[in-house]
Amino acid sequence: MCGITGLMLTIHEHDPQTKIESVKNVFRFLLKKTQTRGPEATGVAILNKGGQIYFTKNAMSADEFVTTQQYADVMDKVSRQTIGIIGHCRLPTQGDVWFNCNNHPLMFGSTLGIHNGVITNDSALKTKFKLKLRGQCDSEVIFALYNFAREKLKFPADKALKFLKQQVKGSYACAIFSKWDPDNLILFRNWNPIYLTRTVPKNPDGFASVIFNSDVETINSMYKDYDDSLKRDAYLHLGQNAGFIIDPSLTAEEIEFGDAGERACCGLY
């Protein structure tokens, strides 16, 4: 079991620095809460406008990770140009955490992603598509295949996800930043959960965002701790065998990539 979390947000050029600090504080809170699902390695990635991606990771709990210089250095990239931040807390099933290439986020070509779940046919897919993977983590094949579908097959995002669904065996809940989709966050899952909420600011330090996490209780606790600055606008439920492409306007475009009748409802509730 691992945990994934993150947010997609809108920051304007005239917004005060205190709003940026508020974004960092909320993300730090989410990451630390998520470590109950995976205390052995932690990583984060930041997406800035124009597809600029920055990330770092290490074999330690989130509590320890957020005190390190490497975490401070990457979070310094959060600015008025930032449109997304994602984080991963790992409990490994395949691939030693002491080899950092096995920890998340995982970068393959122009695609970076995080994954909660277990892929059971990663070795077969590596051979079938002649993928040159860097580590032993089964998750890497997901992002290698997405990159393959975008780069080699020239598929758009929705068709690339359908391709993944056809090829990958196992369980997954994933988030992707990609230079193929430079200003978007892509979320998709089959059996493992992704809970989302949309926020609106309650004061100048609050911010509009779509926030996701593996546990709904983490989202609920966030609202309790940041009640003075964030208001819950809506919950979103990501249905089975479905996904969202979330753009900087915080509009979620639904993607269905399962068979007819295979998925649950997907959308605001």
By C-alpha distance, which of 1, 34, 20 is closest to 9? 20
Percent with pLDDT over 90 in the chain: 71
The bridge status of strand 181-189 relative to strand 242-246 is: antiparallel
Res 259 pLDDT > 60: no
Contacts of 129 (CB under 8 A, 6+ apart): 144, 145, 148
Tens of pLDDT, residue by residue over 157-190, are 989 999 999 999 999 999 999 999 998 999 999 9
What CATH number should be reported for the domain whose range is 3-268?
A: 3.60.20.10
Amino acid 204: pLDDT: 87
What's the mean pLDDT when you consider all of the chain?
Answer: 90
Per-residue pLDDT at 244: 82
Residue 253 pLDDT level (bands cut at 50, 70, 90): low
User: What pLDDT score was predicted for residue 177?
Assistant: 97
Return the ∠ at Cα 61 (arms to 68 and 79), rounded to 5°: 45
| Domain-wise residue ranges, the chain | 3-268
Tens of pLDDT along 98-132? 999 999 999 999 999 999 999 999 999 999 999 99
pLDDT band at 237 (very low <50, low <70, confident <90, very high): confident
